[in-house]
C-alpha cells in the first residue's frame, strides 16, 4: 500500500484538450490515496481489534475497503498514464507528418524556382522572336511588297514561300506558302492592320486640324508630332461631341438651435465644451448617456495575475463630456488610466486592503435592465468620431439662396469667436502653471493635472495608473514632458480681431482653436436663417410634415431619407454621418434622423430637386437634418456636412457627323465635246460656223438624246441598218 511519503512518478502532461480526462483521473487517484491513508491512521490508533463492534474493528474493515479503493486508484492512474503515452505518440507522429510535408513543400518550391530561372535565362532569345512585333514596321514591309505587280516577297518585305518545297529565306521564321489557307489568314490580318493604321492616321490628322481650327496651335502641333512617332494621343477631342447642360447644387446640413440643450451633461465641462457648447450638445445627441453605460474594474494580483476583486462602475463616474469621450474611447491607455484612478479606492474598500497591482477593464458583473454595454458605447463613439473630423461649422453662405450674397458675420459673432480663443489660451496658461508646480504638488492633485493635459491632446502626459501605483518621480517626469510639448501652443500670440473684418476673424479663430485644443473644434456660432417664407415652411415639423400647397412637393421625410441613403453609397462623409445616427439609434435611441428638404429659387409646379430628373437650372438644394425643437428658429447653429454639384444634361444639343472617303485617283474632265463642224472641206463656204449649221447640230443632238432615253424594247420597229459606205 502506498503511503503519503511514497513518490508518485507522473509524466508532464501535454497542453492538449484531449488530456483533460487524464488530469481528472490523476486528481481522483490522489484524493483516494489521501483518504485511505487517513482511514489507516485512524484504525491504527484504535488498539482494541478483538471486539468486532469496537471502533478498531470497524476501522480495520474500513481500512480494508480503503486498500481496495487504493488499488482501483492505482489502476486508474496507470490507465491514465497509458492514455497519455498514446497521445504523445500520436502527437509525435503528427509532428513527423508536418516535418515531412514541410520538406516536400521546400522541395517543390526549389523545383519551381529552378524552372523559373531556366525560363528567365531563355527569355532573351525566345521573347525576341515570338512575343514582340513592331506593327508599323510590319505594315510598311507589307505595303512595300504588295506595291509591285506581281508582289515581291523577300527579306526586304515579307519572306512568304512560293512553294512548299522552298527553303525558308529566314531559317528562324517559316512563313506559309503563297495561296495556302494559312497565307490567306495572315494576309487578312495584315490587311486589317493596314486599315487600322490608316484610320488612326486619319484620325490623328483630323485631331491636329481640329485643334488648329480651334486656335490651339500647341495642341495641334503636339498631336501631329505624336502621330509621327507612331503613337496616339490620349484624348481625341475631334470625336467628342460637347454635351450641353447646367448645374444644380446639393448641400447636406445639420441645423439646430443657436443655444441647444444637451441630452446629458458632464459634472464639469471640458475646455472644448466650455467654448463650443453647441458642438458638444450635438455630439451628446449621438453618444449614449454615460450614466446608462456599465463596466467593471477588476483588481489583479501583481505577481500571479489572479483576480482579487471587482467593482461595477458607470461611465459617468469618469466625469467626461461627449467631446472627451470621442478621444478617450479611441485611446485605451487613457481610458484604463481614468478608470483605474476612479476604481482603485473603491476596489481597496471592497477587498479590505490597498490595491497595488494592475486594474483591468471588464464587462459589468450584474448590469441593471436597460444598461448599455461598454463595448456598444465605444462603438457609438467611434462612429461619431469618424464624422466629427470631416464636417465644418455652418456659415451664412451655406443657407444663401441661389444668386444672393450671404449675410456677413455680425459683430456679436466676431466677439464670441475672440472670447472662445481667449478662453482656451487662458486655460492653457493655467495648465502650464500647474505643470510648473509639479515638484511641490502631491500625487493625487498632480494626477488630476496630468489628466487635464491629456484632455488637451497631450497624450504623453497620461499617467500609467492601470499598471499600478505611480511614484512621485514618474509623475513629475510626465509633467515636465507635457510642459515642454505645451510650449508651442503657449507661444501663440494673444488672439485679437482681424483688421480684415469679422469674416477673417471667425476663420482665424476656428483655425487657432484646432491648434490650441489639439482636436477638431468647429465653433458653432449663431447664423441667421433666411427670411424666405417657403424655406421656413419646408423646414417646419409636426403637423406640417403632411404635404400641402405650401410645402415642397415630393420632399416627404421618407423620400428625403431614401435620397440620403442612396447618395451615401458614393459620398463617404454622408455615409459616416448616417452610420453615426444608425449606431446611436441601435445602441441607445437618443438621436432621431429628422430630415427635411427645400430648394431655391422656386419654379411654379416643380417638385423637389432631389427627385426631379430635370430640375430648373441654378437650383440650390438644401437637405437638412433637424436637431432640437420642432419650431423653426430665427438663429440656427449647425454643421455643413457635404456639398456637390450635379450636372443635368440638356434635353437637346447639337451634334456633328463626318464621313471619310478616299479621293479618286482619276479627275473628271473639265470640258465636254458637244459638237464639231459638219464638214471640214476646205472648199466649203462658209469655212466657219454659221447659224444654220449650229442649229442643225443642236437639233440633231436633242433628237438623238430623246431616242436614246427610250429603252429598245419599247420601240417595236427599232432596227439596225448595215450597209456599205458610198
Residue 84's pLDDT is what?
A: 67
The stretch 11-24 carries a mean pLDDT of 49
> Which residues partner with 37 through β-bridges?
none
The reply to whether 634 and 543 lie within a common domain is yes
In a domain, 683, yes or no: no
pLDDT digits (tens, 9 = 90+) for 410-423: 899 999 999 999 99
Q: Is the pLDDT of residue 319 over 80?
A: yes
Please give the torsion angle defined by the CA atoms of residues 530, 534, 537 and 538, in that order, rounded to the nearest 10 degrees.
Answer: -90
* Mean pLDDT over each residue of the chain, to the nearest integer: 80
Determine the Cα–Cα distance for residues 340 and 454; give it in Å rounded to an integer: 15
Determine the Cα–Cα distance for residues 307 and 303; give it in Å rounded to an integer: 11
Extract the C-alpha cell encoding 196.
487600322
Last residue in a domain, options 181, 207, 239: 239
The stretch 49-59 carries a mean pLDDT of 61
Determine the Cα–Cα distance for residues 364 and 554; give it in Å rounded to an integer: 48
Q: Is the pLDDT of residue 231 over 80?
A: no
3-state SS, residue 64: helix
Determine the Cα–Cα distance for residues 299 and 317; give it in Å rounded to an integer: 18
Determine the Cα–Cα distance for residues 610 and 623; give it in Å rounded to an integer: 9
Spell out the alpha helix ranges (H) of 352-468: 374-388, 396-399, 411-436, 443-455
Number of domains in the chain: 4
Pairing of strands 245-257, 620-626: parallel
Residue 431 — very low, low, confident or very high, per pLDDT cuts 50/70/90?
Answer: very high
Q: Is the pLDDT of residue 393 over 90?
A: yes
pLDDT digits (tens, 9 = 90+) for 641-654: 999 988 888 777 66
The reply to whether 507 and 538 lie within a common domain is no
Extract the C-alpha cell encoding 669.
474632265
Determine the Cα–Cα distance for residues 310 and 67; give it in Å rounded to an integer: 46
Determine the Cα–Cα distance for residues 646 and 249; give it in Å rounded to an integer: 6
The reply to whether 235 and 284 lie within a common domain is no
HSE (side-chain half, CA atoms, 13 Å) at 235: 5
In a domain, 662, yes or no: no
In a domain, 50, yes or no: yes
Q: Is the pLDDT of residue 190 over 80?
A: yes
> Residue 281: how many CB atoms within 10 A of its CB?
25
In a domain, 671, yes or no: no
3-state SS, residue 311: strand
Residue 687's pLDDT is what?
A: 66
Give every CB contact of residue 347 below 8 A, 6+ residues apart in sequence.
Answer: 297, 299, 308, 309, 310, 311, 355, 359
Extract the C-alpha cell encoding 469.
501605483
Determine the Cα–Cα distance for residues 639 and 577; give it in Å rounded to an integer: 11
pLDDT digits (tens, 9 = 90+) for 460-472: 889 998 888 888 8
Determine the Cα–Cα distance for residues 485 and 488; give it in Å rounded to an integer: 7
When mean pLDDT is compared across 195-209, 245-259, 508-522, 647-661, the lowest value belongs to 647-661
Last residue in a domain, options 67, 87, 118: 118
The reply to whether 295 and 397 lie within a common domain is yes
The reply to whether 314 and 194 lie within a common domain is no
- Give whichever of 92-101, 148-157, 367-376, 673-682 has the largest mean pLDDT: 367-376
Phi-psi region of 113 (alpha: psi -120 to 50; beta: other; left: phi over 0): alpha
The reply to whether 378 and 479 lie within a common domain is yes
The stretch 85-113 carries a mean pLDDT of 69
The reply to whether 639 and 567 lie within a common domain is yes
CA proximity to 135, closest of 182, 226, 197: 197
pLDDT digits (tens, 9 = 90+) for 609-628: 888 888 888 888 888 888 88
Higher pLDDT, 726 or 525: 525
Determine the Cα–Cα distance for residues 36 and 49; give it in Å rounded to an integer: 19
Residue 686's pLDDT is what?
A: 66
Q: Is the pLDDT of residue 299 over 80?
A: yes
Extract the C-alpha cell encoding 195.
486599315
> Residue 694: how many CB atoms within 10 A of its CB?
13
In a domain, 37, yes or no: yes
CA proximity to 208, closest of 192, 219, 194: 219
- Whole domain around residue 229: which residue ranges? 135-239
- Give whichever of 26-30, 81-85, 480-484 has the largest mean pLDDT: 480-484
Residue 221's pLDDT is what?
A: 79
The stretch 282-306 carries a mean pLDDT of 90
The reply to whether 608 and 476 lie within a common domain is no
Determine the Cα–Cα distance for residues 585 and 204; give it in Å rounded to an integer: 59
Residue 5's pLDDT is what?
A: 46
> Residue 546: how many CB atoms within 10 A of its CB?
8
CB 210 within 8 A of CB 216: no
Higher pLDDT, 332 or 674: 332
In a domain, 703, yes or no: no
Cell 525558308 maps to which residue? 168
pTM above threshold 0.85 = no
Determine the Cα–Cα distance for residues 14 and 94; give it in Å rounded to an integer: 14
Residue 691's pLDDT is what?
A: 80
The reply to whether 306 and 332 lie within a common domain is yes
Give every CB contact of residue 575 below 8 A, 6+ residues apart in sequence.
Answer: 568, 569
In a domain, 79, yes or no: yes
DSSP state of 303: T
The reply to whether 295 and 217 lie within a common domain is no
The reply to whether 318 and 176 lie within a common domain is no
In percent, the amount of the chain with pLDDT more than 90 equals 27
Residue 59's pLDDT is what?
A: 61
Cell 489660451 maps to which residue? 425
Last residue in a domain, options 617, 649, 681: 649
The reply to whether 91 and 208 lie within a common domain is no
Extract the C-alpha cell encoding 250.
446639393
In a domain, 7, yes or no: no
The stretch 107-118 carries a mean pLDDT of 70
> Residue 277: how many CB atoms within 10 A of its CB?
20
pLDDT digits (tens, 9 = 90+) for 546-555: 444 346 788 8
Amino acid at each position: 500500500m502506498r503511503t503519503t511519503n511514497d513518490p508518485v512518478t507522473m509524466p508532464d502532461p501535454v497542453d492538449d484538450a484531449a488530456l483533460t480526462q487524464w488530469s481528472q483521473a490523476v486528481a481522483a487517484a490522489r484524493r483516494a490515496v489521501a483518504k485511505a491513508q487517513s482511514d489507516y491512521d485512524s484504525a491504527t490508533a484504535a488498539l482494541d481489534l478483538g471486539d468486532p463492534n469496537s471502533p478498531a474493528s470497524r476501522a480495520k474493515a474500513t481500512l480494508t475497503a480503503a486498500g481496495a479503493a487504493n488499488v482501483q486508484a492505482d489502476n486508474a492512474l496507470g490507465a491514465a498514464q497509458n492514455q497519455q503515452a498514446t497521445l504523445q505518440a500520436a502527437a509525435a507522429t503528427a509532428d513527423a507528418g508536418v516535418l515531412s510535408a514541410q520538406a516536400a513543400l521546400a522541395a517543390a518550391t526549389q523545383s519551381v524556382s529552378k524552372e523559373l530561372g531556366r525560363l528567365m535565362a531563355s527569355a532573351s532569345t525566345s521573347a525576341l522572336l515570338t512575343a514582340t512585333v513592331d506593327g508599323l514596321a510590319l505594315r510598311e514591309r507589307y505595303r512595300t511588297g504588295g506595291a509591285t505587280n506581281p508582289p515581291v516577297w523577300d527579306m526586304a518585305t515579307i519572306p512568304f514561300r512560293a512553294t512548299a518545297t522552298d527553303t525558308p529565306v529566314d531559317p528562324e521564321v517559316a512563313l506559309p506558302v503563297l495561296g495556302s489557307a494559312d497565307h490567306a489568314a495572315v494576309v487578312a490580318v495584315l490587311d486589317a492592320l493596314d486599315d487600322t493604321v490608316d484610320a488612326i492616321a486619319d484620325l490623328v490628322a483630323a485631331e491636329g486640324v481640329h485643334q488648329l481650327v480651334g486656335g490651339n496651335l500647341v495642341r495641334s502641333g503636339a498631336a501631329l508630332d505624336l502621330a509621327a512617332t507612331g503613337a496616339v494621343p490620349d484624348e481625341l477631342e475631334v470625336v467628342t461631341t460637347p454635351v450641353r447642360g447646367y448645374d444644380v447644387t446639393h448641400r447636406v446640413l445639420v441645423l439646430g438651435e443657436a443655444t441647444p440643450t444637451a441630452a446629458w451633461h458632464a459634472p464639469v465641462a471640458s475646455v472644448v465644451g466650455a467654448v463650443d457648447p453647441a458642438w458638444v450638445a450635438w455630439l451628446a445627441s449621438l453618444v449614449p448617456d454615460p450614466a446608462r453605460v456599465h463596466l467593471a474594474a477588476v483588481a489583479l494580483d501583481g505577481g500571479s495575475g489572479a483576480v482579487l476583486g471587482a467593482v461595477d462602475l458607470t461611465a459617468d463616474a469618469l466625469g467626461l463630456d461627449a467631446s472627451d469621450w470621442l478621444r478617450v474611447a479611441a485611446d485605451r491607455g487613457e481610458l484604463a488610466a481614468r478608470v483605474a484612478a476612479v476604481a482603485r479606492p473603491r476596489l481597496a474598500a471592497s477587498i479590505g486592503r490597498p490595491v497595488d497591482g494592475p486594474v483591468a477593464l471588464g464587462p459589468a458583473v450584474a448590469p441593471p435592465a436597460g444598461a448599455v454595454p461598454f463595448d456598444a458605447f465605444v462603438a457609438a463613439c467611434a462612429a461619431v468620431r469618424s464624422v466629427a473630423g470631416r464636417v465644418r461649422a455652418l456659415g451664412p453662405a451655406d443657407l444663401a439662396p441661389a444668386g444672393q450674397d450671404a449675410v456677413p458675420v455680425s459683430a456679436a459673432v466676431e466677439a464670441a469667436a475672440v472670447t472662445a480663443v481667449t478662453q482656451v489660451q487662458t486655460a492653457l496658461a493655467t495648465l502650464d502653471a500647474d505643470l510648473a508646480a509639479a515638484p511641490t504638488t502631491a500625487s493625487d492633485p498632480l494626477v488630476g493635472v496630468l489628466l487635464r493635459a491629456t484632455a488637451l491632446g497631450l497624450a504623453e502626459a497620461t499617467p500609467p495608473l492601470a499598471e499600478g501605483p505611480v511614484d512621485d518621480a514618474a509623475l513629475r517626469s510626465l509633467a515636465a514632458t507635457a510642459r515642454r510639448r505645451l510650449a508651442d501652443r503657449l507661444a501663440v500670440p494673444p488672439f485679437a480681431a482681424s483688421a480684415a473684418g469679422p469674416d477673417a476673424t471667425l476663420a482665424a479663430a476656428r483655425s487657432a482653436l484646432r491648434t490650441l485644443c489639439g482636436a477638431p473644434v468647429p465653433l458653432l456660432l449663431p447664423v441667421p436663417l433666411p427670411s424666405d417664407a417657403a424655406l421656413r415652411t419646408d423646414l417646419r415639423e409636426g403637423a406640417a410634415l403632411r404635404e400641402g400647397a405650401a410645402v415642397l412637393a415630393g420632399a416627404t421625410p421618407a423620400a428625403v431619407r431614401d435620397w440620403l441613403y442612396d447618395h451615401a453609397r458614393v459620398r463617404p462623409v454622408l455615409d459616416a454621418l448616417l452610420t453615426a445616427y444608425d449606431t446611436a439609434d441601435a445602441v441607445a435611441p437618443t438621436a432621431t434622423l429628422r430630415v427635411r428638404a427645400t430648394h431655391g429659387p422656386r419654379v411654379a409646379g416643380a417638385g423637389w430637386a432631389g427627385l426631379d430628373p430635370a430640375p430648373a437650372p441654378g437650383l440650390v438644394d438644401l437637405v437638412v437634418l433637424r436637431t432640437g425643437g420642432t419650431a423653426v428658429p430665427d438663429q440656427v447653429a449647425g454643421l455643413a456636412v457635404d456639398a456637390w454639384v450635379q450636372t443635368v444634361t440638356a434635353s437637346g444639343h447639337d451634334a456633328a457627323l463626318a464621313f471619310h472617303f478616299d479621293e479618286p485617283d482619276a479627275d473628271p474632265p473639265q470640258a465636254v465635246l458637244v459638237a464639231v463642224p459638219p464638214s471640214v472641206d476646205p472648199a466649203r463656204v462658209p469655212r466657219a460656223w454659221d447659224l444654220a449649221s449650229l442649229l442643225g447640230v443642236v437639233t440633231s443632238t436633242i433628237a438623238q438624246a430623246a431616242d436614246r432615253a427610250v429603252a429598245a424594247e419599247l420601240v417595236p420597229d427599232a432596227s439596225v441598218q448595215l450597209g456599205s459606205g458610198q
